[in-house]
Amino acid sequence: MAEPLLDVRGLTTHYVSARGTRVTRAVQEVSFSLRDGETLGVVGESGSGKSTLALSLLRLLPPAARIVAGSVRFEGEDLVAKPESEMRHIRGKRMAMILQDPMASLNPLFTIGDQVAEPLRVHEGTSRRGAWERARELLGAVRISAPNMRVRNYPHELSGGMRQRIVGAIAISCGPRLLIADEPTTSLDVTIQAQYLSLLRELQRAQRLALIFITHNLGIVARMCDAVAVMYAGRVVEAGPVRQIFDAPRHPYTRALIESIPRLGEANGRLTAIDGQPPDPAALPEGCAFHPRCPVRLEKCATERPRDTAVGAGHRTACWLHG
């Protein structure tokens, strides 16, 4: 089998406070791989490390954060070892990102045309005229009506859904192989979210893009993803093909998450709630980080950390019940 497009091994990212006294273990020994055209959902709550993971892949971490171990092999090269000057040729060209808030991703002082054309001018050296021409095509590709007029608009003249489509157009402008979307639809209305998700699907099929969805929403995973990695307190606690995860979740946290979501058209019984709250990533519990909230914990869960165990084809979990 050919080498995967992206292969992450033991990735560990820590935040260190200014005096070096407080270490927050945001991402711990995360491993996964992704092939061309595949979609992976990274699911977790706030503080689970999913956004830090995304930033680590692109090496866009804030100054206080550091990748302390692990490797990120993308198209056969380890990105962790790359000098910043080479990363600049990868970011925006081979690998692109879509963030939650489109207003924060777009510059209010430049026209849409300038912003969609910018990566083409930077990465491919396209002429201004050529890049604008391509920008019009890209706006058409993300279903913006009247692209000839819209290229001259500023971000504030567009609706939230349109802005997020512009961000999508910028992301795919240089034909990347991998697109990382961090909560891309959280700020959108339900019907606009549906529009956007089906647009991402189309773009993905047309360009054989690999997609990583960072989300807290299992519904998005169910609709969009082939595989899932569930994160809790910086670690992947369960990962596998999407159907196996939904049909037979093996980690108690994954099971609880799936059961805690109200479903349309089901009897209005009680929801299965998870007691307590996610731990502070700067003060993680000993052993398995989920043990204080776990309904089926064993004695050793409080002291020993469970190792990754295979529980099916491509399906693994870190839980003593299966260790």
Binding site for other proteins (CB under 8 A): 45-46, 159, 161-162, 189-195, 198, 216-220, 222-223, 225, 242-243, 246, 256-258, 260-266, 268, 270-275, 277-278, 293
Shortest CB 251 distance to other proteins, Å: 13
Shortest CB 143 distance to other proteins, Å: 9
Nearer Cβ to other proteins, position 259 or 286?
259
Cα end-to-end span (Å), the chain: 29
Nearer Cβ to other proteins, position 123 or 235?
235
**Tokens 């309904």 correspond to what residue?**
295
Shortest CB 91 distance to other proteins, Å: 30
Shortest CB 301 distance to other proteins, Å: 18
Nearer Cβ to other proteins, position 189 or 299?
189
Nearer Cβ to other proteins, position 82 or 216?
216
Nearer Cβ to other proteins, position 67 or 229?
229
Nearer Cβ to other proteins, position 17 or 260?
260
Shortest CB 172 distance to other proteins, Å: 19
Shortest CB 191 distance to other proteins, Å: 5
